[in-house]
Amino acid sequence: MNKNFTPMTTIQNFDGYKPTWCPGCGNHGIGAAIKVALVQLGLSPSSVATVFGIGCSGNMNDFLNAYAIHSLHGRSIPNAIGIKLANHKLPVIVIAGDGDIYGEGGNHLMHACRGNHDLTVIVHDNRVYGLTTGQVSPRAAKGFRSKSTPTGIIEKPLNPLLLSLTSGATFVAQAFAGDVNQMVAIFKKGIEHKGFSLINVIQPCVTFNKINTYQYYLKRAYKLPPEYRTGDFDEALKKAHEIDEEKFPLGIIYETNLPVYTDQLPVLKEKTLLERERMSNFDNLMEEYI
Amino acid sequence: MSDFLWKIGGEAGAGIMTTGLSFAKIASRLGYHVIDFVEYPSLIRGGHNSYEVRVADEKVGALKKEVDCLVCLNEDTFRRHRQRLTPSSYVIYDEADFAVQGEFIKIAVPFKKILSESKGSPVMMNMLALGASLAVIGADLDIVNDIIQEQFADKDQTIVDLNQKFAGLGFNYVKTNYQTLVKTLLPKKNEEKKMVLTGNDAFSLASVVADCRLFAAYPMTPASSVLTTLAAWQEKTGMIVRHSEDEIAVINTALGSSFAGVRSAIATSGGGFALMVEALSFAGVAEIPLVVFLAQRPGPATGMPTWTEQGDLLFAVNAGHGEFPKIVLAPGDVAEMIELTAKAFDLADVYQLPVIILSDMYLSESHQTYPIKGFNDFTASYRVNRGKLVNQPSESKYLRYKVTDDGISERLVPGTSGYFYQANSYEHLEDGHSTEDAAERVKQVEKRERKRITYLKQDFQPAKIYGDMAAATVVFVSWGSTKGPIIEAQKILDRKRVKSAFIHFTHLYPLEKDKIRPLFSQGKRYVLVENNYSGQFGKLLRAEAGIELNDQILKYNGRNFYPEEISEKLFK
């Protein structure tokens, strides 16, 4: 695909196919907010890399124009790390669902936080597996009945905010799919943040989740007040813990600046891995074998 | 003519590995060819370790049954390996430890007494043994002092001095007390200088030469030393070496970096590879180049981690759900490892698919001599071929998965201004968008399959023949690391006036039937030799080329072949 991008891009530059999500699905709002954020950051489909998971949210691969990998289920984060290592000047965004990032790929999330890889991970948290027609996700509330848990799920939901905070993420935020303006603001901050950003977007699934609806979240979500201090780790843990009580703080829960993974690689001091010259003298490697 | 096998054994943790490698390097510096083999259990202390080095005038591809000099750091070593001794074998041991029964050339060295008199720690025993060994073969002490100096270059000079002192004590004890038995078994020769490399070293070196820029791995025996070697070189080579959280992350990280435009490789053994297989299929459909170094060890499951087997051939060939092309190569020795590793990176780029290099513990961890000139010639002549990787598409409408005659489409470096595309794990249209359309599906399946056909035409190498096919009555058929033992077995058969030839495959999959079948239609006794239970390459030959080989020599006890076994089993 090619388009002639003017220096300032528009939302239309990012428009791919017409989305196939259900009417009323939270993905529409999230998709729109991502495009607006990219435009407002001055990025073009050529200057950003996105990695999509597998699920309804991952299907955004065809609706959003950009250099992209439509990955395997659960594996978008390691793909994104690879892109970043090869070309750390490229902004890299992961777009995937709660089953993908918190279930199948949970191990990768934990370790990407530890490494403070400079990625922005936007998780569509609708608490069900939509694309496979409504089984529970790791975010489902205890007792939630679904096709795979007809008598109610026994496990309690995973808390991705606490998990990423305690694993070393340097930017942790929560947004609501019903509020495009706030999503745009948070996505922009997350993409601009140098380091690992996790943005959990609470999102109704109008087809398979009749409990966690827009009304449900409107009653239980609230915006963090302006005086909230995003650099306070202990406060962030308290806020993160609230979702276990079905209370949903919205906004940047925690932000701190620490060296990112690629900044700590001596080999990337001057150029990206992609740009550097090929090594041509091998004598000093040979010596140890003589 | 020199053909000498030296073996040292002792408790794990006693320094057997470094002593063995020192001996191999010394023999190489004296002008000889060597091959060695390490036996060690999957633990760090305790248990039995041994290291054997075969030294010969000419290129040698395998060990031999007879041990010419056995160095026993404990009684267990003698007990375990005495059946390989002959009346002309030397046995170096400590009389205070145990008595050697039997007719051998006994060189008793009071290791413990010398250690206590000269206040040496028990770990110095291997230096005494190395010194004593050199006296037995008639080498001089300077050569071992040089090796010790280099080995401990980053340590304090007192450590160097201490090691040199104990090597000297062992050396002098033998010189003084066994004057009549000391012979110049390995006189110094003026031969071309050689490197002493394992298969893993060879893979590491060749990936640097081939401009691999990202290497990811999770430690797993016997592939781990590739990770540690490349990691140690990072600042010299500029390669990023990443130890990821698990093998699934390993392969997916490498696919990300390869997508972004840098040559990428990973290394593992069977169990780790099993975890990677879903992503291998992803590389297949998304057409992302990748080099996978698969060093086999006996399975199933955890199996026998520190031993050898060729048990994962069909697993590698069939790895990945769905149908997609991949290439499987298997070098037979370190020279082929260097050549095929560099080629693998080119093939991965040219055909935009995963290329698997099959090694095994025997090839990965045994050292072989390789001429420096060979390496220099190789680095001078090697040209990186990245195929259709482009910074600017040749047509204004860029189609990542454009249907072409050779099956290969242009691969654009992400970040190129004015364009974008997606590498898609779903079936896709030419432009990369997902599709479920029947006709488009057929186009893409056939496009990918044409890459296999193009490869068979352009880059497939049928097999190398060793020996005179026309005169041979017996024709061995094998692949990968059994090459050395079979070539050595041919030498034994030659002496018994049995004419043999050997068909050795390195390009294992896909196979070009028409180029292979003529080799098997010559009315010979064809004997399949494999280091596995089920004759996996035989099955592959039957499936891909319709060739049935029922005469088989198979070994699956976790040990590599000895040449004598092959020649003996031939007539059983």
pLDDT of A4: 52
pLDDT of A6: 55
User: From start to end of B361-499, where are the E strands?
Assistant: 367-371, 389-390, 411-412, 422-424, 464-467, 474-479
- Give a yes or no: residue B185 inside a domain: no
pLDDT of B137: 93
Q: Looking at CA atoms only, how far is residue A133 from chain B in angstroms?
A: 19
Q: Please list the residues that pair with A64 across neighbouring strands.
A: A15
- Give a yes or no: residue B190 inside a domain: no
Q: Please list the residues that pair with B434 across neighbouring strands.
A: B428
- Give a yes or no: residue A4 inside a domain: no
Residue ending a domain, choose from B357, B381, B405: B381
Assign residue B500 the CATH number of its domain.
Answer: 3.40.50.920
Indicate the pLDDT class of residue B153, thresholds 50, 70 and 90. Answer: confident
pLDDT above 60 (res B166): yes
pLDDT above 60 (res A3): no
Q: What is the DSSP string of B478-542?
A: EEGGGHHHHHHHHHHHHHTT--EEEEEESEEES--HHHHGGGG-S--EEEEEESSSS-HHHHHHH
pTM of the model: 0.97
Burial B369-397 (b: 16+ CB within 10 A, else e): bbbeebbeebbeebeeebbbbeeebeeee
Note whether B282 contacts A51, CB cutoff 8 Å. Answer: no
pLDDT of B152: 87
Note whether B493 and B567 are within 8 A (CB): yes
pLDDT above 60 (res B367): yes
Q: What is the mean pLDDT of chain B?
A: 96
Before B331, cis peptide (omega within 30)?
A: no
d(CA B263, CA A286): 22
Indicate the pLDDT class of residue B2, thresholds 50, 70 and 90. Answer: confident
| Cβ contacts of A66 on chain B, cutoff 8 Å | 420, 422
Q: Are residues B356 and B486 in the same domain?
A: no
pLDDT above 80 (res B82): yes
| Cβ contacts of A278 on chain B, cutoff 8 Å | 211, 384
Angle of the B125-137 helix axis to the B157-177 helix axis, nearest 10:
50
Q: Are residues B334 and B472 in the same domain?
A: no
Q: How many residues does chain B have?
A: 572
**Dihedral class, residue A24 (left if φ above 0, else alpha if ψ from -120 to 50, else beta):** left
pLDDT above 80 (res B45): no
Average pLDDT of the segment spanning B332-343: 98
ipTM of the prediction = 0.97
Q: Which residue of A has its CA nearest to B367?
A: A289
Assign residue A96 the CATH number of its domain.
Answer: 3.40.50.970
- Give a yes or no: residue A2 inside a domain: no
Burial class (CB in 10 A: 0-12, 13-18, 19+), B22: buried
Q: Looking at CA atoms only, how far is residue A61 from chain B in angstroms?
A: 8
Residue ending a domain, choose from B432, B458, B484: B458
Q: How many domains does chain B have?
A: 4
Before A225, cis peptide (omega within 30)?
A: no
Residue ending a domain, choose from B362, B381, B400: B381
d(CA A178, CA B58): 77
Q: Which amino acid is at A119?
A: L
Average pLDDT of the segment spanning A80-86: 98
What is the residue range of A173's domain?
A: 11-289
pLDDT tens digits for range A31-61:
999 999 999 999 999 999 999 999 999 999 9
Q: Determine the straight-line distance between the first and last CA of chain B, rounded to whole angstroms.
A: 31
User: Which ranges of B366-408 would DSSP assign to H, the alpha helix?
Assistant: 372-381
Q: Are residues B234 and B307 in the same domain?
A: yes
Beta strand pairing call for B85-93 and B67-72: parallel
pLDDT of B103: 95
**Which has the closest alpha carbon to B12: B62, B51, B61?**
B51
HSE of B43, CA atoms in CB hemisphere, 13 A: 9
Nearest to B214 among A47, A72, A86 (CB): A86
Q: Are residues B376 and B393 in the same domain?
A: no
Note whether A34 and A185 are within 8 A (CB): no
pLDDT tens digits for range A199-256:
999 999 999 999 999 999 999 999 999 999 999 999 999 999 999 999 999 999 999 9
In this structure, is the dihedral angle defined by the CA atoms of residues B147, B148, B151 and B155, taken in order, positive or negative?
negative
Q: Looking at CA atoms only, how far is residue A123 from chain B in angstroms?
A: 19
Structure-block tokens of residue B347? 């093939």
Q: Are residues B451 and B499 in the same domain?
A: no
Note whether B420 contacts A65, CB cutoff 8 Å. Answer: yes
d(CA A56, CA A33): 16
**Which has the closest alpha carbon to A97: A133, A62, A137, A143?**
A137
Nearest to A87 among B209, B252, B415 (CB): B415
Phi first, then psi: give them for residue B264, nearest 5 degrees. Answer: -135, 145
**Dihedral class, residue B535 (left if φ above 0, else alpha if ψ from -120 to 50, else beta):** left
Q: Looking at CA atoms only, how far is residue B567 from chain A in angstroms?
A: 33
pLDDT above 80 (res B356): yes
pLDDT tens digits for range B115-133:
999 998 988 999 999 999 9
| Cβ-based neighbour number of residue A201 at 10 Å | 27
Q: How many domains does chain A have?
A: 1
Assign residue B319 the CATH number of its domain.
Answer: 3.40.50.970
Q: What is the mean pLDDT of chain A?
A: 96
pLDDT tens digits for range A114-125:
999 999 999 999
What is the residue range of B407's domain?
A: 389-458
